[in-house]
Amino acid sequence: MKRIAIFALFHLAIVATLPLAARAQAATPALRAEVTVTGDLVRIGDVLDNAGVKASQPIFKAPELGASGTIQVHRIMEALRAHGIVVFDTKNLTEVLVSRASRSVTLSDLGRVVAEAAAKRYEIANASDLSVTFDRHMNPLQVEPNLTDAPRVVSIVVDQRNNRFEAIVDMPSSIALRRAPVRFTGSLVETVEVVTLARAITRGETIRESDIMIERLPRTDVQTDALSKAELVVTQAARRALRAGQTLRAADLMKPQIISRDDGVTIIFKTSTITLTLRGKALGNGAEGEPISVLNPQSKRIVQGTVTAPGVVTVTDANALTTAAVNNNNR
């Protein structure tokens, strides 16, 4: 009985110490393989789990906003030793990856604010008419992750000889940008919308909506009479052969021809009081509203009329009407 009692007490002692050992093991500081910080400094609690009361102590400078870097473990050990932390689990790591959290402002968003600032500075009616291209080495703007305000251009200068610009950008609530405003450079070009051809068009061919594109081109590359609206082009015909990609002008287009040479046509001789209809033959091609010569088969005379509908030519010459009426009565 005495042996059994001693064994039971020994067993209870072991069981009682197990939670303590587990808690001690769980509380041992341990390195993290990857760290994301939001401020300028890397603190003990950022790199160590279970850092304890010294968690807020800074030990390294953080990377730039949006950037990452690695810290060798032997450097971390030296920094922690300086703060009295000697025992911790390295987890067999050789380095720790540290990233700086940020909010990224895209180049597209920056381009809009640069265009707006340039339009205001140089009295251009629409910022949307300005095309902004940043230099290749320009990257999106990185600011503190909790910021919600929009970027603004503090100053902008455009060299109008070569369209180069330089703009200083900040955000009112960004401490980082207040310390060091960011300079962006690139080119800024005023553009206009124009109608161009998606494919080659033959002479006389009617242009459909699928044949055209609306593009923005530098204003200096566009003729002043270039067309900018699709409705001015669609259903019109090519006055001459047109190439793919060509910018269209009114002079390139005409109404579609609805009468062709040698077509049989209806000739309507018309005044305010008399209307006479005959059949005739077209002696040329014609679009609606255009003048055309037709042969009057009764008189064998050539008369001038106007194309008023497919296969219809209207003549308003009183003399031609009289001749046609006489010939019609003598049939």
pLDDT given at position 328: 55
pLDDT at 273 over 90: no
Beta bridge partners of 305: 292
DSSP assignment, residue 201? B
Contact call for residues 294 and 283 (beta carbons, < 8 A): yes
pLDDT greater than 50 at residue 259: yes
Using CA atoms in the order 217, 218, 223, 226, what is the torsion angle rounded to 10 degrees?
30
Residue ending a domain, among 73, 100, 127, is 100
Highest mean pLDDT among 2-11, 279-288, 319-328: 279-288
Q: What is the pLDDT of residue 7?
A: 47
**In the predicted model, what is the mean pLDDT of residues 133-146?**
94
214 in the same domain as 151: no
Of 254, 272, 294, which residue is a domain's last?
254
Tell me which of 294 and 23 has the higher pLDDT.
294
What pLDDT, on a 0 to 100 scale, did the predictor assign at position 101? Answer: 96
Read out DSSP for 86-123? ---B-TT-SEEEEEE--EEE-HHHHHHHHHHHHHHHTT
Q: What is the DSSP letter of 76?
A: H
| Domain stops at, among 75, 100, 125 | 100
Domain of residue 170 covers 105-190
Taking the C-alpha atoms of residue 318 and residue 4, their distance in angstroms, rounded to an integer, is 141
Residue partners of 84: CB distance under 8 A and separation at least 6: 54
pLDDT score of 5: 47
79 and 55 housed in the same domain: yes
Predicted local confidence at residue 274, as pLDDT = 82
Q: Which residues of 11-47 are buried (b: 16+ CB within 10 A; e: fewer)?
A: eeeeeeeeeeeeeeeeeebbbbeebebeeeebbbbbb
pLDDT at 218 over 70: yes
Angle at 186 between CA 184 and CA 191, to 5 degrees: 125
Residues 9 and 96 in one domain: yes
pLDDT digits (tens, 9 = 90+) for 4-40: 444 444 444 444 444 544 444 458 999 999 999 999 9
pLDDT at 323 (0 to 100): 57
Q: CA-based angle 86:93:45, to the nearest 5?
A: 55
In the chain, what percentage of residues exceed pLDDT 90?
67
Across 301-318, average pLDDT: 88
Q: What is the pLDDT of residue 15?
A: 46
DSSP string, 54-69: GTT-EEEEPPPTT-EE
Same domain, 146 and 236: no
Residues 169, 110: Cα–Cα separation, whole Å = 9
- Please identify which residue in the block is written with the tokens 């021809």: 257
Q: What is the mean pLDDT of residues 107-134?
A: 92
CATH number at residue 269: 2.30.30.760
- The count of domains in the chain is 4
Domain at 84, CATH number: 2.60.480
Which pLDDT tens digit goes with each residue over 95-120?
Answer: 999 999 999 999 999 999 999 999 99
Count of helix runs (H) and strand runs (E) in the chain:
6, 23
* Residues 87 and 29: beta-carbon distance below 8 Å: yes
pLDDT for residue 18 = 47
Do 281 and 312 lie in one domain? The reply is yes
